[in-house]
């Protein structure tokens, strides 16, 4: 009997060239597909909710695959984890309808970006934050982030090299939280363009430094010009937090 299995996955992206399988590069998708092939004895194609770039992490990536394995659904995650490197963990495995597609059925996604703001970096956060030694104006960054909320043409918030049918996206919420030396940006939206969250994070950092004005976000939304915005923040601070299907 054919079954469709949905996985929720967490991973440290430091040692991988992103999610999507690539020739001559180690990727998250490839590692999980290899583990699936081992436990099911089948050649399987894993569909992810979206791609994450080299060095980007995930707390709740979602993927699905079709299989004829008779392994009990709840035990699939245990079998996969036994065949995966320690920096990739399957958090849950469940059977879903055959027509479920983790990419096309996603309603919205939440990303988290972490900034370590202190004069000296921490060896414990180096792989998971963007170290910024300059003093940041948290209140200005927080105010600037609110201008992103709504349905806009985010063409100016996209790196070159992406082919998409439309650059219109909806941002539902943004939230900045400061906890001691760490600033976390949470952003939830219908979808995101190539490097969009990292461009937003880099721009907010530049606004916090005072090298960019808050108005640059509104200008970029109107003029759709990437050069108006700040730099693209490093991948280490970016996490795919969760994908919502409800």
Provide the phi-psi class of 193: left if phi over 0, else alpha when psi is between -120 and 50, else beta. beta
Q: Is position 53 annotated as part of the catalytic site?
A: yes
Active site residue: 53, 87, 105, 118, which one?
53
Pairwise CA distance, residues 211 & 191, whole Å: 28
Look-up of token digits 């995966």: 84
Count CB atoms within 10 A of the CB of residue 193: 19
Check if the beta carbon of residue 226 is closer than 8 Å to that of residue 157: yes
Pairwise CA distance, residues 193 & 157, whole Å: 8
Q: Report residue 194 as tokens.
A: 């190539």
245 labeled part of a ligand binding site: no
Identify the CA nearest to 148 among candidates 179, 186, 177: 186
In this structure, the strands spanning 182-189 and 168-179 are: antiparallel
> What are the φ and ψ backbone dihedral angles of 48, each rounded to 5 degrees?
-100, 160
Check if the beta carbon of residue 7 is closer than 8 Å to that of residue 96: no
Check if the beta carbon of residue 63 is closer than 8 Å to that of residue 11: no
Pairwise CA distance, residues 241 & 200, whole Å: 16
Q: Report residue 25 as tokens.
A: 């590069």
User: Which residue numbers belong to the known binding site for substrate?
Assistant: 111
Residues marked as binding? Answer: 111
Active site residues: 53
């Amino acid at each position: 009997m054919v079954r469709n299995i949905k996985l929720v996955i967490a991973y440290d992206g430091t040692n991988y060239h992103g999610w999507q399988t690539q020739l001559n590069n180690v990727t998250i998708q490839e590692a999980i597909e290899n583990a699936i092939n081992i436990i099911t004895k089948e050649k399987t194609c894993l569909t992810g909710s979206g791609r994450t770039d080299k060095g980007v992490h995930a707390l709740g990536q979602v993927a699905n695959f079709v299989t004829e394995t008779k392994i009990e659904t709840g035990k699939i995650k245990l079998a996969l984890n036994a065949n995966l490197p320690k920096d990739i963990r399957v958090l849950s495995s469940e059977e879903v309808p055959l027509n479920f597609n983790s990419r096309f059925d996603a309603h919205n996604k939440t990303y988290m970006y972490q900034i370590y703001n202190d004069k000296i970096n921490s060896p414990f956060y180096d792989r998971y934050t963007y170290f910024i030694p300059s003093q940041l104006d948290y209140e200005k960054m927080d105010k600037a982030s609110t201008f992103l909320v709504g349905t806009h043409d985010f063409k100016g918030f996209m790196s070159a090299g992406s082919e998409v049918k439309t650059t219109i996206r909806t941002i539902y919420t943004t939230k900045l939280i400061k906890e001691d030396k760490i600033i976390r940006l949470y952003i939830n939206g219908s979808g995101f363009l190539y490097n969009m969250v990292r461009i937003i994070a880099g721009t907010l950092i530049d606004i916090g430094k005072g090298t960019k004005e808050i108005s640059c976000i509104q200008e970029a939304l109107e003029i759709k010009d990437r050069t108006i915005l700040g730099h693209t923040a490093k991948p280490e601070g970016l996490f795919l937090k969760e994908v919502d299907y409800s």
